[in-house]
Structure 1
């Protein structure tokens, strides 16, 4: 058994996946748009969402996680209650990833040495997704 994060970007999924690909090396391994799904009378699409991402699988390092545009609800609350934890191979990579995620986002805790790691920082990226970036102990 394993657990995979499934992140809903409320209409910004394609933009987020492109950004993570450019800045973190993430690779989209599968993607399906709402217009590619069979019609479902019980789940009507919001007009204008046909080209939004219904489901995507993303490989980031050795992890596969999933994402979607979700319902594209303009009144949806921001993401809350969780963060993704990114453990880099070394301090230079961790700081690079942290800075990329902080670009256009909000730093919650600057990337710095702590009593448990040579480098750790927390950030909410430009898409509202919380990240904890860390360097593993040697």
Structure 2
């Protein structure tokens, strides 16, 4: 059994995927647009003109998979009550990823040494997704 996060970007999933490819080395392993579905979505399920938006995608970051969609394409995104935690082999790679994730985002806890890690930080990226970067001791 696995638990995999499923993120709904409500219209800017493709932009987020490009960002995660650049800053985390993510790989898009699966992508389907609404226009490619075997059946049309029910009326009102997505915003008009959203045929090219992402209905479903899978991203691989390291050995983990995150699934995502543009959802209802409403443009209103709220990621609350969770963060995605990514562990790094060394301080340099953790700091590099943290700084990149912080571009256009908000630092929640500056990256640095803690009692539980030689390098840990918390940031909310420009898409509203919370991230924790950590080097495990």
Q: Please state which band the TM-score falls in when normalised by the shorter chain.
A: over 0.9
CA distance in 1, matches of 2:8, 2:42: 23
Instruction: Tell me the CA shift for residue 78 of structure 1.
Output: 2.0
1:115 is displaced (CA, Å) by 0.4
2:7 is the counterpart of 1:11: no
Give, in whole Å, the separation in 1 of the partners of 2:5 and 2:101: 18
Note closer, same or farther for the CA distance 1:121–1:58 as it changes in structure 2 (3 Å cut): same
Task: Report the secondary structure of 2:107's partner residue.
Answer: strand
Quick check: 2:124–2:130 contact (8 Å CA) kept in 1? yes
Partner of 2:84: 84
1:46 CA drift (Å): 1.8
Corresponding residue for 1:47? 48
Note closer, same or farther for the CA distance 1:11–1:77 as it changes in structure 2 (3 Å cut).
closer
1:52-99, CA deviations, whole angstroms, 9 ceiling, x for partnerless residues? 00100000001011011111124x352111110011111111111100
Q: CA deviation at 1:44?
A: 4.1
Q: Normalising by structure 1, report the TM-score.
A: 0.93
State the match for 1:128 in structure 2: 128
Partner of 2:114: 114
Q: TM-score, normalised by structure 2?
A: 0.94
Q: 1:61-80 counterparts in 2 under 5 A?
A: 61-74=62-75, 76=76, 78-80=78-80
What is the DSSP-based 3-state SS (H/G/I as helix, E as strand, rest coil) of the residue aligned with 2:93? helix
Q: SS at the partner of 1:82?
A: coil
* Cα distance in 2 for residues equivalent to 1:32 and 1:109: 35
The unaligned stretches of length 5 or more in structure 2 are none
